Amino acid sequence: MLSVFTGEWLDVDVAVADGIIAGLGSYEGEEIVEADGRYVVPGFVDAHMHLESVKLVVDELARLLLPLGTTAVVADPHEIANVLGTDGVHWLHDASEGLPLDVYFMAPSSVPASPFESPRRALEPGDLEGLMRRSRVLGLAEMMNFPGVIGGEPGELAKLALDGAAHVDGHAPGVHGKELQAYVAAGIRSDHEALTVDEGRERLRAGMWLLVREASMARNLEALLPLVAEYGPGRIAFCTDDRDPEDIVDRGHVNGMVRDAVAAGVAPADAVRMASWNPALWHRLDRLGAIAPGYVADLLVLPELVRFVPDLVLKRGGHRLEIPRREVPEWVRQTVRIAPVTVPDLAIPWHGHGGTARAIGLVPDQVVTEALEREPLVREGHVVADPERDLVKLAVVERHLATGRIGLGLLSGSGLRDGALASSVAHDAHNLVICGVDDEDMVRAIARLAELGGGIVVVESGRVAAECPLPVAGLLSDRPLDEVVAQSRACNEAAARLGWSGATPFLTLAFLALSVIPSLKLTDRGLVDVDRFELVPLRV
């Protein structure tokens, strides 16, 4: 077994009583699991993730993650908080109670992510205070409004001054120098947005924990591993942030990060430490992440130190892990409330001849976009999609309060030649995002999302070509993993048939509404120039 404290592999018995490790040494027991020369390591702890991104209800998430060796996660439930406020967070909390996967939470600090987004309601300091008093809520989740923190905005400082906000996760993409120092001085001591060795080094020197992220759309592990060689693993922990279910099926979860780190030359003891004890240390989970007396007996038996797929997962000492299916209450399913949308609602009037329009330029497999300018195709006084020039229409429809508010824009670089794609997963406010060549297809897709209570949909020539219903808050499926993955893959394939050229059409779509990532985004309130942090008209 691995001692994370000394870095040694020790040949000792691990005694377990009532789910807790009673001792290391030579012991007798009622039930004996023989390791037979295999390796025993602590269960993996995901230091930061949004569990809604996996699109599974939390009991199904446990069925997916436990066999991969993830025995605990620290979740920022800000997706469901945008849709259902604190009620949604409390429901997720309740739904994860008593699972063999330990689910800890951080209170969502940034709902809405910006003033340009429309969640169902904003979370105020009082909401956060209440959440942080619940068990299993560890502190304040990633402070995404880093300009606000650095600038000393009273609203952000009020959140940081709350009881319970002694422990705060950070989110500081591209923040450097004095700005980074000010952000840290406000009491924020982790970041998972470092992309380079230089950024990682600056964060470590500033006293931050470096949470190395390997998300489906943002893979930073390889770039940051040199820091482990340079400084040791002491202040570095692994996290997955946003992971697609297909990605987990194909590449693993935290165990995949350990595998890849070891393949890149990191000592197995160090890689395991960054995946178990270190996340627990950062989050002060004093009984997780190590094999020692008094720690929870979350143990993985590994046949080798290459693939990091456990033969056996013991959670609280048990290995027959039964996870009952949990009912989803009706109020969590009824979240898509829209005013009726018809073709005229998606019209983009254009007066006169000529002129240029702003267009969002996709960057393959990145969440950042380019702010482009294009001469639009105009028909009968309205801008229409122009697939010949790879320019399609984009819409974001407010879907929480049926206000009828719709933001309209243009998208370049998708490859889409026909039909429409739509999703109720649209970070962070999770309004409906729709792109399409044909307005009728877009309207059909919106109507279908409303019928489903959310999901992702592909419409071709007026009919639904593929869909993945996500009726739980418009974010999660209530179906088993295999079904969700099959539906999701069918949607991707249908999108590809319509011409979409990137690998992850709906992940890409989901981030087009996130108004805190540069450069040009669309919300239900209109186009957001993120660099200038203001709404801008379509016409330049």
Nearer to its own copies, 134 or 201 (CB): 201
Residue with tokens 């000492």: 317
Check residue 349 for interaction with its own copies (CB under 8 A): no
Interacting residue with its own copies among 134, 201, 326, 489 (CB under 8 A): 201
Residue 6 in contact with its own copies, rule: CB under 8 A: yes
Token code pair at residue 373? 């300018």
The Cβ of residue 191 has, within 10 Å, a number of other Cβ atoms equal to 29
Q: CA–CA distance from 221 to each of 159, 247, 257 (Å)?
A: 31, 15, 7
Q: Does residue 204 bind its own copies (CB under 8 A)?
A: yes
Report the nearest approach of its own copies to the CB of residue 287 (Å).
Answer: 9
Which amino acid, one-letter code, is at 132? Answer: M
Within residues 159-178, the interface with its own copies by CB under 8 A covers 166, 177-178
Q: Is residue 25 involved in binding its own copies (CB under 8 A)?
A: yes
Residue 309 as a binder of its own copies (CB under 8 A): the answer is no
Cβ proximity to its own copies: between 181 and 519 the closer is 181
Q: How far apart are the first and last CA of the chain?
A: 63
Q: Any contact of residue 189 with its own copies (CB under 8 A)? A: yes
Q: How far is the CB of 74 from its own copies (least distance, A)?
A: 18
Using CB under 8 A, which of 19, 152, 234, 329 touches its own copies?
234
Judged by DSSP in three states, 452 sits in helix
H or E element at residue 72: strand 70-75
For its own copies, which residue of 147, 187, 303, 415 counts as binding (CB under 8 A)? 187
Minimum CB distance to its own copies smaller for 11 or for 380: 11
Name the residue type at position 259.
Answer: R
Residue written as tokens 């069918």?
490
Least distance between its own copies and beta carbon 381 (Å): 55
Residue closer to its own copies (CB basis): 288 or 465: 288
299 neighbors 290 (Cβ within 8 angstroms): no
Query: With binding defined as CB under 8 A, does residue 366 bind its own copies?
Result: no
Residue from 99, 290, 395, 498 touching its own copies (CB under 8 A): that is 290
Number of chain positions touching its own copies (CB under 8 A): 40
Handedness of CA 181, 187, 192, 193 (dihedral sign): negative
Q: Which of 151, 207, 329, 340 binds its own copies (CB under 8 A)?
A: 207
> Is 185 near its own copies (CB under 8 A)?
yes
Question: What one-letter code names the amino acid at 2?
Answer: L
Q: Is 181 in the site for its own copies (CB under 8 A)?
A: yes
Give the closest residue to 287 by CA, choosing from 458, 425, 104.
104
Query: Per rule CB under 8 A, is residue 206 in the interface with its own copies?
Result: yes
Please tell me whether residue 186 binds its own copies under the rule CB under 8 A: yes
Cβ distance to its own copies smaller for residue 151 or 349: 151
Q: Which of 57, 89, 140, 184 binds its own copies (CB under 8 A)?
A: 184
Using CB under 8 A, which residues numbered 214 to 233 contact its own copies? 231-232
Instruction: Write down the least CB distance from residue 189 to its own copies, Å.
Output: 7
> Among 9, 22, 337, 526, which residue sits at the site for its own copies (rule: CB under 8 A)?
22
CB of 124 to its own copies, least distance (A): 25
Q: How far is CA 520 from the centre of its chain?
A: 21
* Partner residues linked to 357 by β-bridges: 374, 539
8 binding its own copies? (CB under 8 A): yes
Confirm if 49 and 438 have CB atoms less than 8 A apart. no
3-class secondary structure, 149:
helix
For the bound state, the minimum distance from the C-beta of residue 259 to its own copies, rounded and expressed in Å, comes to 25
Binder among 124, 153, 198, 286 for its own copies (CB under 8 A):
286
Alpha-carbon distance of 336 to 334, in angstroms, equals 6
φ, ψ (nearest 5 deg) of residue 7: 75, 10
What count of Cα atoms within 13 Å lies in the side-chain half-sphere of residue 32?
A: 8
Helices (H), 69-137: 78-95, 125-132
Residue count of the chain: 540
Measured from the CB atom, the residue of 189 and 497 that comes closer to its own copies is 189
Rg (CA), the chain: 24
The encoded tokens of residue 257 equal 């990060």
Q: What is the closest distance, in whole angstroms, from the C-beta atom of residue 302 to its own copies in the complex?
A: 20
Mention every residue, 6+ apart, whose C-beta is less than 8 A from residue 537: 358, 526, 527
**7 forms part of the interface with its own copies (CB under 8 A):** yes
Spell out the alpha helix ranges (H) of 176-309. 177-185, 197-205, 221-224, 226-231, 245-251, 254-263, 268-275, 277-282
Judged by the rule CB under 8 A, the positions of this chain that interact with its own copies are: 3, 5-8, 10, 15, 20-25, 27, 166, 177-178, 181-182, 184-187, 189, 201, 204-207, 231-232, 234-235, 284, 286, 290, 292-295
